[in-house]
Amino acid sequence: MDAVIKKQQGVHYTPPQLAVFLAKQVMDCFLDSLHKDSSFSSPIAILDPACGDGELLASLIQQMRINGVDTQFRVFGFDTDPDAVKRTRSRLKSLGGAGRQDLEVVIEQADFLAQQTSQKFDLVIANPPYVRTQVLGGVESRRLANKFELTGRVDLYYAFAVAISQALKPGGTMGQLTSNRFLSVKSGVAMRGLLSKEYKLCQLFDLGDT
């Protein structure tokens, strides 16, 4: 995918160091919830709705293994870029390794926001695309606003946040990288409302210009 298309589609692949950081936060919150309620069942279902090159999924699986989470994983990823899908499939397949039977991988070339699925997930880790109303265009912005009940200026990652909340199991854990603008701008009220209504916040980091 060339630079122009990446910019138009809001594609920002996650640097490895940041992926490990987010994976650790997701894992810690998930393990903390398990200590309070151990009723989850194996396998653990994991989702990245805009998986890119698979950096977040790979980091989360590796962190879980490093910390002794010994169970089966069903890993799902969606991306519209066919090359990214191929890379992610290959990357996650390599994590299975010789003789390992604990990892099932389903990576699809598809738009997660267009999916109609009854599948629910224990863990979601995501760095969804950032695309503002001006770039999305009026028609697409209105479509997303109507579908996901958003108001004001719509950024694409707002829609992903709503869709993720609908895909999580009760008590599930979500870690998401986003622009920090929603914390203060008027158009971020929908995002702030979603987080306070649908989630019990475990941690929130504002990394600024890090």
Q: What is the pLDDT of residues 40-85, one digit of tens each?
A: 677 899 999 999 999 999 999 999 999 888 788 999 999 999 999 9
pLDDT at residue 1 tops 70: no
Residue 96 amino acid letter? G
What is the arithmetic mean of pLDDT over 107-117? 90
Does position 124 have pLDDT exceeding 50, yes or no?
Answer: yes
Beta partners for residue 48, in sequence order: 77
Predicted pLDDT at 157: 86
Q: What is the pTM of this model?
A: 0.86
Q: What is each CA distance from 46 to 31, 60, 94, 100, 126, in whole angstroms?
A: 14, 9, 17, 18, 11
